[in-house]
Amino acid sequence: MASEAKATRGVCLVVGVGDGLGSALAKAFAADGYEVCMTRRARNLDSLKQVEAEIRAGGGVAHAYGVDARLEEEMVALFETVERDVGPLEVVVFNIGANVRFGIRETTARVFTKVWEMACFAGFLAGREAAKAMVPRGRGTILFTGATASVRGRDGFAAFASAKHGLRAVAQSMSRELGPLGIHVAHVVIDGAVDGVFIRSNRDNVDDLLADDAILRPEDIAQSFVALTKQPRSAWTHELDVRPWKESW
């Protein structure tokens, strides 16, 4: 098939594909010639299938998987399935957010634990399994989606910031360990509001902000992720931050 001939760069796995940045990442890597595998919770598989269909309609190659990234057995099985049935992984992107806001007095142990499982522990699982697949081949790129909360906490975000700080530490440790083995590990700090369902449900001026380039566009962020995979190893970036030109920081 002509669509399959386009997938010349190998296989890219995006863990955490929703309606915003995740789907933009999947589409960007597909457009760049990767055969894209995507995950989302099984209960949301129908919406992920829509992204799969959009990529295929555009001439790309995509596969959707219903996976709970917090469960070790499901993540191990996912990587085994992709490597066996699709092909060798060249790029793995971890893109689960878990952005919630609770005052410290209202943050329950369940909330704190769940946020950590989603935004940090699941990232560890994805990174570990990616490393197991890539190190024997001596090549590959592992990318983690960070946030402003990765580098500073603020009121109401103790759970989210601690998880994102933890994910950043995992990425940094992996980069130092795996870089000398030929694996490029990078952490991308998304510093600012990102256009999507969440931000549109909380603001009524999103279109005005987009017109002024004062808010992050998912498709523009995705291009930064793709660019990281093309860096020569003599000048690898470990941490990249992206923000709108008007964002204060």
* 3-state per-residue secondary structure call for 26-44: HHHHHHCCEEEEEEECHHH
**Sheet with strand 34-40: strands edge to edge:** 61-66, 34-40, 10-15, 89-94, 141-147, 184-190, 239-242
Q: Which two tokens stand for residue 224?
A: 């930064």
pTM of the model: 0.94
Among the four given CATH numbers 3.90.1150.10, 3.40.50.720, 3.20.20.60, 3.30.470.20, the one describing domain 9-242: 3.40.50.720
Instruction: Report, as ranges of residue numbers, the positions in the chain whose pLDDT lies below 50.
Output: 1-5
Contact 225, 32 (CB under 8 A): no
pLDDT score recorded for residue 165: 97
pLDDT score recorded for residue 4: 46
pLDDT score recorded for residue 5: 46
């008007």: which residue's tokens? 246
pLDDT score recorded for residue 6: 55
pLDDT score recorded for residue 1: 36
- Sign, CA torsion 165/121/68/37: positive
Question: What Rg value do the Cα atoms of the chain yield, rounded?
Answer: 17
pLDDT score recorded for residue 205: 85
Structural domain spans, the chain: 9-242
- Sign, CA torsion 17/241/207/32: negative
